[in-house]
A and B are shown apart, each in its own frame.
Chain A
């Protein structure tokens, strides 16, 4: 699937479906090629029925200016750009209310797929990996 974005105004915002036991919620996520993991606002996960248990693994996340810990939970489905990840681990993080999107789509979502960012045309595309014999097709 190919969708457009405004290359002059980062971040690249995509819309994705988060499915939990209670709800399916469509939210905006910032595509973040600097993030190893996907992060979703904790209240969105709670709305979907996903609340980290006290025993949820907590991992330290580091950024350019500091670090924080966040529990990791599994969402039943995460659907973005026409691709679904099932039983997918995400960090449940309390993004500040001033942030106008609900998470970061990290590199783990794109593993095994072909992500194309076309900043000349303002297009982002996600495809399955092509067999080698169709590489030039």
Chain B
């Protein structure tokens, strides 16, 4: 059954703290952020998300989509926001 269109607030409430794949997302022109769409995949596990989207290619019909996390973005201490291209 096709997933219904949901607003981003509804998506966040329905799938809290999960990665969601949103087909044909709508965008709020004022904020430049996704305002809603049809969720075609959701999981809290990013590795599983990537595996289903890329390795197993479960969504070949999805050509314009959004990949978003529905929880608060947290700072990952293992990643430095500080990259310099090093001379080869």
Q: Show the binding face of A for B, using Cβ within 8 Å.
A: 1, 3-4, 10-11, 13-15, 22-28, 30, 32, 34-37, 39, 43-44, 46-47, 57, 59-67, 81-82, 91, 95-102, 104, 106
Distance A96 CA – B75 CA, assembled complex (angstroms): 12
Are A23 and B62 closer than 8 Å at their CB atoms? yes
Which of the residues A25, A30, A46, A97 comes within 8 Å of B46, measured between beta carbons? A97
The total of chain B residues at the interface (CB under 8 A) is 36
Q: Show the binding face of B for A, using Cβ within 8 Å.
A: 25, 27, 31-34, 45-47, 50, 53-54, 62-69, 71-76, 78-86, 88
Question: A15 contacts which chain B residues (CB < 8 A)?
Answer: 27, 32-34, 66
Question: A13 contacts which chain B residues (CB < 8 A)?
Answer: 73
Question: B84 contacts which chain A residues (CB < 8 A)?
Answer: 35-36, 61-63
Which of the residues B32, B79, B86 comes within 8 Å of A96, measured between beta carbons? B79
Are A64 and B80 closer than 8 Å at their CB atoms? yes
Distance A61 CA – B71 CA, assembled complex (angstroms): 29
Distance A10 CA – B72 CA, assembled complex (angstroms): 11
**From residue A14, how far is it (CB to closest CB) to chain B in Å?**
7
Which of the residues A4, A46, A59 comes within 8 Å of B86, measured between beta carbons? A59
Question: A39 contacts which chain B residues (CB < 8 A)?
Answer: 83
Are A104 and B64 closer than 8 Å at their CB atoms? no
Are A4 and B31 closer than 8 Å at their CB atoms? yes
**From residue B40, how far is it (CB to closest CB) to chain A in Å?**
13
16 more A-B contacts (CB under 8 A) besides A3-B33, A27-B67, A61-B83? A3-B31, A11-B81, A14-B32, A15-B34, A22-B63, A23-B62, A27-B66, A32-B81, A32-B83, A37-B83, A37-B85, A39-B83, A46-B54, A60-B85, A63-B82, A96-B78
